[in-house]
Structure 1
Amino acid sequence: HSDQGWHYQHESYRHKLAKHSLKQSMSRRGNCLDNAAMESFFGTLKSEFFYLNNFDSIESLEAGLVEYIRY
């Protein structure tokens, strides 16, 4: 990735996390394995669910996601 996650280091982003009592998780630069599980999940989600369906609204997308994940 060329952006190297600069937006996750931005002060305003870190303040939003702190405001909601969230702890940021960042590894050393160049460690591509950190996101491998989520990248795989989202790739599968898109190919098995998102690209195969049409959604009339955000609500129908959300309902479909709930059913997909529950399955």
Structure 2
Amino acid sequence: MNIQINHLQHIGMPITDIVISQAFYERLGFQPVMRSTFVHEGEQGKVSMMKRDEMIIELYQMPEPELSKVIPNEYII
């Protein structure tokens, strides 16, 4: 089987502090294009879409009860 991936719409990354993470990616040249909230198990989380050229990243901060489950580097390949 020959599978080729030519384009990704965006990459989602769980983070523990959306303000600090947004500032970090802004220093790398990303600009915020959307900020919103979401509900997970009755609690409010935060999300920010950041864009630089054709790259889009989604930063999402889980609600407080879920933050302890976010393990640094767990999702990095």
Instruction: State if a TM-score over 0.5 links the two structures.
Output: no
Relative contact order, CA 8 A, sep 6+: which one is greater? Answer: 2
Larger Rg: 1
Higher helix share: 1
> Normalized against structure 1, the TM-score is what?
0.23
Higher strand share: 2
